[in-house]
Amino acid sequence: MVFKRRDRRAIWRVVFDFFYPRGGWARAAQYVKHRLRRLPDTPEKISRGIAAGVFTAFTPFYGLHFICAAIIARLMGGNILAALLGTFFGNPLTYIPIGVASLGTGYWLLGRPFNAALFGVGRDLEPGYCSLGCRFGNAFSDIWHNFLAIFTPRVADWHGLAEFYHEVFYPYLIGGLIPGVICGGVCYYLSVPVISAYQMRRKKALQAKLEQLTKKTISVDDDGASTS
């Protein structure tokens, strides 16, 4: 295949690159910024796509962020590729602050006291408490267990998934709306002038190169005509 990697990476290398890409996160951010500015679309559409991707990073649909961002960008009339790149706002460096902001806002909107133990704070006060990672693990374990129960004598058990929904998913979903809209809106209004300036500068540079090529072509034609 044309786009297949020549050097197949080991599983540990794939996992390590996810948490710390080659060249570091600064280089990865520069790459995303470079790709966003060179997209062939209007600054407004690109910025709407970025806003959709950033907003999606505040949703609990991990593993489906690309799909959700593409759908939201389509509904907003934004650039879909920009939306996919915008989802990189959610990465291993930002997952914790995004989770704290979304869950904290969700608990506040639902009138519940914020459960800091989900992030391991105060676990010494409650031995054996199941933190955020534990609840995610229990939810996926229930999904797999109940799937196997369809084909085996196992008894379906939804306890872990129900606990995850009430304690994590629903507050995260509700709470992510406010910080997601705020961050998406800020990114939109910051991106429009930046992308506009970049596209204008690039257009002028291309025009200047075209003019130089035209002058060279004319001078070569004139030299050829005078020689003949």
> Which tens digit of pLDDT belongs to each residue from 76-100?
998 888 888 888 888 778 888 898 8
Assess if residue 216 is contained within a domain.
Answer: no
Assess if residue 166 is contained within a domain.
Answer: yes
The model's confidence at residue 7, banded by pLDDT at 50, 70 and 90, is: low
First to last CA, the chain: 52
Assess if residue 94 is contained within a domain.
Answer: yes
Q: Do 119 and 99 contact (CB within 8 A), yes or no?
A: yes
Residues 6+ apart with CB under 8 A from 10: none
Assess if residue 187 is contained within a domain.
Answer: yes
Tokens of 39: 């997209």
Say if residue 123's pLDDT is above 80.
no
To the question of pTM greater than 0.85 for the whole model, the response is no
Percent of residues, the chain, with pLDDT higher than 70: 72
Q: How many domains does the chain contain in total?
A: 1
Assess if residue 25 is contained within a domain.
Answer: no
Q: Which domain holds residue 72?
A: 41-193
Say if residue 176's pLDDT is above 70.
yes
